[in-house]
Structure 1
Amino acid sequence: MSICPTNFDEKVECPFVDRKEFIEAFDKAFQNIDLKDYSILVYYGVAGIGKTSLRKELSTLLKKHNESAFHMKIIWTSIDFATEQYRQPYKFLEVLSSQLRQKYDIKFNSFDVALATYWKKVNPHIPLVKENYSEDSIVRDVLDICNEFVPVNLIPNVLNLAKSLPELYQKWALKRKEDISRLSDLEPAEIDELLPVYWAYDLADHLQNTSESAVIFIDTYEALWEKERDIGSFNDRDKWLRKLIENIQKSCLWIICGRETLRWEEVDEDWENYLDQHKIEKLPEKDSLDLLKRCGITEEDIQKALIESSEGVPYYLELSIETYRKIKKKKQPAPEDFAKVPDGIFYRFVKYLDREEKETLKVLSVPRYWNRELFEILIEKFNTGYPVTSFSELHSFSFMDIDDKGKCSMHQLIRKSLQEYQDQYLKKKVHNFMLNYYSNQLKELDIKSITPEHETALTEAFYHAKETLEVEHLSKWFVSVSDPFYRAAFWQLITPMYEEVRQILEAELGSEHPDIATTLNNLAALYYYMGEYKKALPFYQRALETMEKVRDPEYPYVAATLNNLATLYRQIGEYEKALPFYKRALEIMEKVRGAQHPDVATTLSNLAGLYEDMGEYEKALPLYKRTLKIDEKTLSPQHPNIATTINNLAAFYARIGDYEKALPLYKRALDIREKVLGFEHPDVAQTLNNFAVFYESIGEYEKALPLYKRALDIREKVLGPQHPDVSTTLNNLAGLYIDMEEYENALTFYKRTLKID
């Protein structure tokens, strides 16, 4: 249920969403209030997430309970630490006692006497004035009789006077005689520390005498640490409240709303048995939409923009609704009117934070993630003044998140607002630092040793590069840094990044620029390797068209694009389209690079493969041999291109039935590829698959089977289960099972092949 105004002239209120889990937590805590010595229910979450709205809703439920109850009523009240004076223990207790007096006629005799004694000891020459006390205060009654309040002789007088006062005082005096008697011997500081205890005595006595239960709400709990978070122990600031709670056993439920979890178990691990803490998460999208509709925002594009940018924070929506109404008076609002985080969000987030915390959060808002090591590096590098030893304290905020692997992040809304409301020069400096930090992790990267950490480094380096590098530099940087991942077949990882680079380049440089052509070509190659030929074809065509416009027709990159486009046509079986492109590419390469260049060898090998597919074996064989001769002359013996050529030549010999020549070539190709590319590369899978085909063709099924299975494992893992190469291996495995007369297995693999195809 969302609560919001229907009158457009009313101020927008932060909505409450009746989230079942939080209401149930309250009901459960209240129902079990007598089963535990202490009951503390904590609701925590980022600023503006709806804690206060929840607190108000729970208060409404208590009102309804009292209105309908025929027997025991619930005593309840609330106090908000947003009011600075309430953060002082004596004032907190004074206000709460006043509220409970007025609402439920509860007497706070012990607290009143203790506070009056404290005040008189601190101000011995200033008389107490009875008009400063409520009519039902014991201090007023005593002053009516004694006309003076002197701690040395007052306490015995109070106890004696109680006999002439109403019966209620007599019972109290009898029960609290020893506690009151000791006050005159205490120093003011000692009495000040004991004020929560005396207050607790009074409420505990009332609850015991009436068999009633109490609920006390405390809101904006984080304000207790305003400007004093780093002074002394974190848990010293609310030590007095723990003392208060400790002296009211059973029958009292404390509901604390703040930005952080309570950490009382650091003081005494027994508190874990009594703290019930619930994090209030983002507002569900359906409720956000409902609120916007109720408040008159019906434009779908604006609804979408506000829901996405709000990150589920109701206060953001409240401010946005106010902004919408202001704009509406002058013109029709548009999504771009809400692009910036409202000022109020930023100030609400950083309220109660000290300078060092704010400066640290500004720096941390630039990276998307960090760990403890990076946290310390950033703090020292940018000299924020925050102690590096206080990592845990900073990350205890509800807007900070840390997973079980130590990966830290910040709530996206506060992150965005921090980035907007800070010095942009500092932000760019941090982006540049992070770019170098991650780029250094990618230097001289061995493609066989790429780890998830390297993948993260590339992803994060790319994020920061977009923020700090000029457009043309970004393109060249990314081609270089992503090359090891390209060669290691991490195509699914880098393809979205290439797409972003393309969009950025086209937006900044236009569609006819050499860097555009290069990016289109690389992007097409990625889609090709991933088996997405329909996506690859238009990119290759655009790359060739752009390259021919901006470069000399005989430029090597033109030939490379021709070669790639021809290979795609060959792969999809359009041999007649592929042939002229291969021939033209070969002509350019031989003219520009020379007849013995490795690029010429690559094109020769591809042309040979095309002739082989077309059944023109007599044309294919000399081209394969010429390719191998060039490769062996110009490349190292372990170069991947040599392995490719050998693999292709072995497959050719196997196709024409020359098995004696095929076998050693397959072995050599597999050896090179495993050494250079590692054991889980698609090229290794290709050789394994071809090798298995070879063994199957000569009837050695037991040798073929494990090779097929290994090839399938690699292709499914690296290329994904729907890749055409996976389908090829599945089909080959099915055929092998037919040869082995294992028809059930064959049927299974044929069905999988058909599903992919």
Structure 2
Amino acid sequence: MGTVFRVCAIKLMDNKNQVYQVELQLTSDDDKQLRSLTDRIREEAGGLIGWQRLGKLLIKTGQFNKAEELYNILLEQTSDQGEKAVFYNQLGLIHFNQGDNEKAMQSYEQGLKIHEQTLPSDHPNLATLYNNIGLMYDNMGEHLKALSSHEKALELYQTTLPLNHSDLATSYSNIGSVYDHMGEYVKALSYYEQALEIQQKTLPSNHPSMANSYNNIGLVYDHMGEYLKALSSHEKALEIRQKTLLSNHPSLATSYNNIGLVYDNLGEYSEALSSHEKALEIHEKTLPSNHPSLATSFNNIGLVYDHMGEYSKALSYYEKAVEIQQKTLRLNHPSLATSYSNIGSVYDNMGEYVKALSYYEQALEIQQKTLSSNHPDFATLYNNIGSVYNKMGDYSKALSSHEKAVEIQQKTLSLNHPSLATSYNNIGLVYDHMGEYSKALSFHEKALEIQRETLPSNHPDLAQSYNNIGMAYDNLGEYSEALSSHEKALEIRQKALPSNHPSLATSFNDIGLVYSKMGEYSKALSLYEKALEIQQKNLPSNHSHLAASYNNIASLYKNMEEYSKALSFYEKAVEIQQKTLSSDHPDVAISYNNIASLYKNMEEYSKALSYYELALDIKQRALPTTHPSIKKVKERIEIVKEEMKKKK
């Protein structure tokens, strides 16, 4: 071996000319860490020489266009069938990373066809192709086909390799990934842990592959709602990567992004932002300004701002992501669909439903060009579109969209997949808005049944279902049942989430609403104030959830006939909404409607009329003409006009 140096530090000396000072330390001949690393590199190189080694390096460094060009040349120049199969396999991997699923599958199948004709049925190269085809099917949402391919690969490895071989660990990880996507989280965890067990026996304790396993385990725990376990696993992955990789290595950015996503789920938004910004900083230092990984970071930061209710900031980051993707990816790349969907979500939250639908439909158009017709991502988009139609009061379209989602999920997922529960809950919410509370209850209970079978007992999604069931009972006037369900939701959230998580405030508000309807105003007020306290500590001062809490407290004071206090809280709610929502957002109309109702109770009819007319104007601009709330406001306007005539 030639002279090898250890990189100790890298300092920027001249920002203008990008001049760096690199501090190097000469390694000794008996450096154990260096020896372990070089032995491993030799093993991973697998005897490749010349152009093939260069091709593999180009793929590892993300230079897919150059790698594609090289392998196409190699394919033309060789007459060796074995080499052709290898080159087709590498081209499949390249097309997969370029987002071209169809070309990737064609290349893999050509490689597999050659191998099946030229190799013994138990040759390890067949297993490699089965694994790659499995990854392809998994990416296409064809999970059962993916599982079948990965299990073929595993069977070959088990018959031809030692039980602790690294290729077996790879197969276990691949199968774990499919089960994760299928929502079978216990099985996913089992396979990932088998992969980790092999790695712990055969690899150095700080090998990057172990970091990948901890990362995978963290992702499953995150999906299971076990956020502290997820955080622990991601931090183990980060610790390994910090010890073995340069401080600006992209894998560190991956860890920071994953940690950020967990903090986001925990409602710890400042920690989430901090982690995502660390990832972004690494990407900005090491990657070209239009690299897709930068778009991923911008999307993640946008997601946090979206959850914080800072919609203009969220929109800005999502648009940065789209700008990069439009420059560097094919116009029908699935990542663009994700970004369009994110932008749609912000406009949905802002009450700009027409814009939201437009972006969701752009995402849908991309998916229709690139994914199989029953890919689970279609179901997600149909659910998003259905939710917008529900808010617009177009209930038939909302139901149709959610039912399309269910139809896809029933064809492609297990019947107890958590995503089906999400769709059933969405259908329940539509029936709730339609006033068909018994039907709503039935769908929410279906969702809960699935979640009880597949998720841990303290998963936050269970709390959401109990919350929905509580609302249905509330609307049915069954207040004791409503309280019971809302209290179950609160109990889960208190076990699973930090004490200041916004979802706890949601539970306190929901329970308070039931007590308010029962006429137990002091209990209701206490709960509303608990909710408000959490929100004031953890959300921006202009977050829409604060406006909702102010509206709840105001309505309670109105019922208690403390009208001046009620007016003060209603005005606080409107002030927030006017700062953060579009001028024709339906929530602003609800606040105006509440103030009008208050003035009506105070017999200040001219003011009541003015606010009812403001509410009507917004609803007529924002909602379909057939929306039931438009008819209600018109009826209230007529009642106020009649009262004004009587007063005269």
Give the TM-score band, short-chain normalised.
0.3 to 0.5
TM-score under structure 1 length normalisation: 0.40
Q: Which has the higher helix share?
A: 2
Of structures 1 and 2, the one with the larger relative CO (CA 8 A, separation 6+) is: 1
When Rg is computed on C-alpha atoms for both structures, the one with the higher figure is 1
TM-score under structure 2 length normalisation: 0.46
